[in-house]
Copies of this chain bind each other. A is one copy, B any other.
């Protein structure tokens, strides 16, 4: 691309370093920002600057936070459950929070064990999890981890690690999606959902 402006070229190059944004999309975004006169570019620049300097990991659950302890861990009404929901990333915490179905605390692993990508147990926040289990007197871990090979490996690893601790480990239910068409469910999911069928309960 022939740029008449070095500033524009640099903005395009920086924006196209984002995932899913190619040169052409980056150019469209940059030109939009140049033509905009509501100060969008400055706004984005300042929020990204603040984000990169201000965001940190919660020292308790390793979720993203603005403060040393995140607002879930510091919320008194969240305590007293004696269970932790173990997730892969901060994104998963948000997804579960959006469901309004869990009112306990989380623990963010920061990934899953993946030999192919060189991620071992020591790269994840598993040490902190073990410490929390003792300190917070946890009785159950809900593993809300994606049912992939790496996810299953991680669940297996953690359950082996805690085998002698007497802790209950559960995984979130797997099966066909609500509203999904059986025809389009993959074979593995459909097959497993038949094997692990659940008794039907008449809603009263």
Contact = CB atoms under 8 A, between A and B. Distances in A.
A51 B40 contact: no
Contact of A64 (B8, B51, B58): B8
B34 A28 contact: no
A47 interface: yes
A22 to B, nearest CB: 12
Contacts of A39: 52
A142 interface: no
Given A28-B20, A52-B33, A1 B98 contact: yes
A42 interface: yes
A70 B14 CA distance: 22
A11 B47 contact: yes
Oligomeric state, in number of copies?
2
B44 A4 contact: no
Contact of A4 (B1, B18, B71): B71
Contacts of A47: 7, 10-11, 13-15
B50 A10 contact: yes
B52 A41 contact: yes
30 contacts: A2-B94, A2-B97, A2-B98, A4-B58, A5-B55, A5-B70, A6-B66, A7-B47, A7-B50, A11-B47, A11-B50, A11-B51, A18-B33, A19-B28, A19-B29, A20-B25, A20-B28, A27-B91, A30-B51, A31-B90, A33-B51, A34-B55, A34-B64, A41-B51, A41-B52, A42-B49, A42-B52, A44-B44, A45-B48, A45-B52
